[in-house]
Structure 1
Amino acid sequence: MHRIILHANRDDGFDVRVEAAMAIARVFNAHITCLHSRQNMTVTGDVYAAGMFTAVLPPSIEEDIRKEEQAFRDHCSRMIESEDVSWDWKVRLGLPERAFARESVLGDLVILSPAGEDIGDQSGETFLGRTLVAAGCPVLVAPRAEVRFATEGRVLLLWNGSPEAGRALKGAMPFLRRAAAVRILGIGEARSDRPGPEDAARYLSRADIRAETREVANGDAEDIVQDEAAAFEADLIAMGAYGRSRFSELILGGVTQSMISQTRHAILFAH
């Protein structure tokens, strides 16, 4: 792992994201890019409202925004410069998920926070869902503040044999290689046209990673994941994101949609 893209946005989860990024960067000797996304300074509005509420900013408000942005950057600098970690600060204009899509082309991990209730900012489900789909590398959703991210913890890999699950497995390899224990959890009825949990365990064994397998055929998927993660004492859950379309999950419900707002565990998503 060489480059971590950290979501640099002033919200309640930022300090937790920084701590997780620094812990990972120290272990893997990785560089952190603090990616701050904002609209053009000359206009303001809700970027998720199709431009319906845009307006020209007065110079005084523009100056206040610049001061707030500099204060936030200084806060970020104080947190990271106290550690022996390589980092830089980057600003991108426009939709934030497009900024992450661009930067993640040459990134190994994006770090975000769980989705909040406000859909119109950089902490809501709209932002997080779009970023999961757009990112060109795995996305780590950091846990709540009282749960420290463990780089050598126990990893629960959710498995259904889909391409997304395969990408999650491969994206989680740096953590799987260092894990204290790995469990592959198959949920639902196995499909004969897809590799099963034992196949995934065999794949990992070729990288000298020992993984146990478990399958649960019946029950609510979200409840199964939470119960199994608690029983396994998982520090990290790795899973594929949006195995069906994101729109379908929004309308019909799905494991990804339910998991992006949970705060009990760190989750690594791959689409």
Structure 2
Amino acid sequence: MFEILVNMEEMRDDNPVMQAGLALAGHLDAYATGLHIVEVFPSTMAMPEVMTVLETEEHEARQYDAWWMNRCREHGVQGNWEVIRGVYVPVLARRSCMADITVSRLPNREAGYPTGMDYVTRVLLTAASPMLLVPPKWDGTFRQARILVAWNSTQESMRALRAALPLLRKAEMVCLVDGASDVLPGITPPPLPVRDWLTRQGVILHEMRQFPATTSAGEALLDQAHAMHADLLVMGAWGHSRVSELMLGGTTRHVLQHAPLPVLTAH
């Protein structure tokens, strides 16, 4: 059975992560696990008052089990509610290994972490599972009619494409922007035959075009998503070295900072 893990930082009915995650589970007839992490900071664990606070927070979080199950029933999906106490990044990374897709929020620019160092992106870097990242101000609906695929013939983009297949097959319009290039013929691997592969997978490709030559690839990609009124952007993450992406920016970094639509991505 297809498994969706929904990372629930806030237990409220208008949480766009919850709404998108359960809508995705409904589209895919998937099992939806809601996960709340009670965050632990190891340096404070010796303080008795901290342990009391953590125990209280964990007890209160477990009381949302019935609330989550009601939300699942409203969306016509099976699911369960989990609460795990621990260090945030390794807990989410390890638990997401059991999911086909993990739904979480896009990095919060207002939290003070540079993109790449925030919790969610650090989990993405572990390659635990593909992630559907939802903007914090998203309206909560999850549509799949118009999908833009950013392709560069890397393993990361292939993993994201595989994760998106069930959605791509049902989409009304799929456009692919190809940024792959055969830089050193005979030395570097040639671009993957993605058009033929998509056809075999039952995906109707409406348009495939080359990525425009620009120094602002991330901005250009979001412009194309806006122009086609895309409901979803599919892309591989961190296609260059992690250090260069974290320190120097790049397409992934710009998209994670500025995307106004959900992004399905994988490392």
Q: TM-score, normalised by structure 2?
A: 0.83
Question: Deviations 1:43-67 (Å, cap 9, x if unpaired)?
Answer: x46xxxxx4xx353334x5444444
Unpaired runs of 5+ in structure 2?
Answer: none
Whole-Å separation in 1 of the counterparts to 2:182 and 2:135: 30
2:248 aligned with 1:248: no
Question: Deviations 1:58-108 (Å, cap 9, x if unpaired)?
Answer: 34x544444444444445742541423322222334332322332223211
Q: Show the counterpart of 2:160.
A: 168
The SS at the match of 2:257 is: coil
Mapped contact 1:119–1:127 kept (Cα < 8 A) = no
What's the CA shift for 1:268?
0.5
Mapped contact 2:62–2:83 kept (Cα < 8 A) = no
2:249 aligned with 1:257: no
What's the CA shift for 1:147?
3.3
Flag the 1:89–1:79 CA change in 2: closer, same or farther, 3 A. Answer: closer
Flag the 1:252–1:146 CA change in 2: closer, same or farther, 3 A. Answer: closer
Letter of the structure 1 residue corresponding to residue 209 of structure 2 = R
Question: Deviations 1:232-255 (Å, cap 9, x if unpaired)?
Answer: 111111111111232221111111
Letter of the structure 2 residue corresponding to residue 114 of structure 1 = L
Whole-Å separation in 2 of the counterparts to 1:177 and 1:30: 16
Any residues of structure 2 matched to 1:1-271 within 5 Å, and which?
A: 2-10=2-10, 15-40=15-40, 44=41, 51=43, 54=44, 56-59=46-49, 62-75=51-64, 77-78=66-67, 80-82=69-71, 83=74, 84-117=76-109, 118=111, 125-187=117-179, 191=183, 193-195=189-191, 199-211=193-205, 212-219=207-214, 220-271=216-267
Tell me whether 101-110 or 176-185 shows the greater mean CA deviation. Answer: 101-110
The structure 1 segments of at least 4 consecutive aligned residues displaced by more than 6 Å after TM superposition are 11-14
Letter of the structure 1 residue corresponding to residue 144 of structure 2 = E
Whole-Å separation in 2 of the counterparts to 1:256 and 1:71: 36
Letter of the structure 2 residue corresponding to residue 215 of structure 1 = Q
Whole-Å separation in 2 of the counterparts to 1:55 and 1:73: 21
Unpaired runs of 5+ in structure 1?
Answer: 46-50
Whole-Å separation in 2 of the counterparts to 1:110 and 1:126: 16
Whole-Å separation in 2 of the counterparts to 1:30 and 1:152: 16
What's the CA shift for 1:227?
0.8
The SS at the match of 1:27 is: helix
Flag the 1:246–1:92 CA change in 2: closer, same or farther, 3 A. Answer: farther
Letter of the structure 2 residue corresponding to residue 110 of structure 1 = T
Mapped contact 1:159–1:185 kept (Cα < 8 A) = yes
Whole-Å separation in 2 of the counterparts to 1:146 and 1:137: 22
Whole-Å separation in 1 of the counterparts to 2:119 and 2:168: 28
Residues paired across the two proteins, number = 256
What's the CA shift for 1:187?
3.1
Letter of the structure 2 residue corresponding to residue 7 of structure 1 = N
Percent identity over the alignment is: 28
What's the CA shift for 1:10?
2.9
